[in-house]
Amino acid sequence: MTARWTTANLPDQSGRTVIVTGATSGLGLVTARELARAGALVVLAVRNPGKGERAAATMAGHTEVRRLDLADLASVRAFAAEWTGQLDVLINNAGIMRVPLGRTRDGFELQIGTNHLGPFALTNLLLPRITSRVVTVSSQLHRRARLDLDDLNWERRRYRSLQAYCDSKLANLLFTLELQGRLAQAGRGARAVAAHPGIATTNLASHVGGIRGKLGRAVKHLFNDAERGALPTLYAATQDVPGACYVGPDGPAHLRGYPEIGTPSKTARDPDLARRLWDLSARLTQLVHEDSRRG
């Protein structure tokens, strides 16, 4: 791996088509901007097309804006149904963090629904068209997860917003692991990979106030900004990395720095848990895909 890999090392992306979800701010905005600058046609898949158009106006290169609400499976299905032609890379970047208990339009807990079930459905619906890879953005907080497949939507437990976020980020990695296995078994050339920004000072948790929010602002100089936080995603999307890898910063505790391939938690590498989560997710989203394992 090249030391201190930056956007200056991005290869020419001309002729490639990339979808970036959540591309109006933070990591998604930087990811979309840099891929467009490198020559890709970048589709900004966003909840608010007006904000998407304003973001696209700041980018050099070829961009499109399309509406996508990952908290609404009807929106996910409509987005996928309207897609024609080949898709080189899907970047599942959009996410929410530590929000109060809420439900998606389909009744899922808001964080698992937006961060996992929506991207799960989107990926499966687009998968026949994806030629290169699926990049899903996770978090080091997956290491604190206690994923409960018997109560994925927090219907019986006392709700804990941070725990729900951690669980959704573990789900991202288990999804990547299982998707890579299915792609390999089907003989597909596409790869599923994951990335994380370390701790990036974006607006993802801007609603978190009090002493924790103040503490975060006080020490933000110790972490990646959005520009550097997007590097692992860009690396995962454009470099020759192995399937099911986990790209993140190379610095202390992997909280900041430049991209390197790391190792997720043992739980995130559990193939049985990954398969069971996949099966549950397929039932909840009412999706059955042609790449499903036989037997």
Give residue for tokens 């801007």. Answer: 206
**What angle is formed at CA 87 by the lines to CA 81 and CA 92, rounded to 5 degrees?**
80
Which residues carry out catalysis? 165
In this structure, what is the dihedral angle of CA atoms 186, 232, 125, 147, given to the nearest 10 degrees? 90
Interatomic CA distance for residues 169 and 171, integer angstroms: 5
Q: From residue 9, how far is each of 5, 16, 60, 125 by CA, in Å?
A: 6, 17, 17, 32
For 189-225, give one letter per residue: b (16+ CB within 10 A) or e: ebbbbbbbbbbbbbebbeeeeeeeeeeeeeeeeebbb
Confirm if 18 and 237 have CB atoms less than 8 A apart.
yes
**Quick one: how far is CA 269 from the chain centroid?**
17
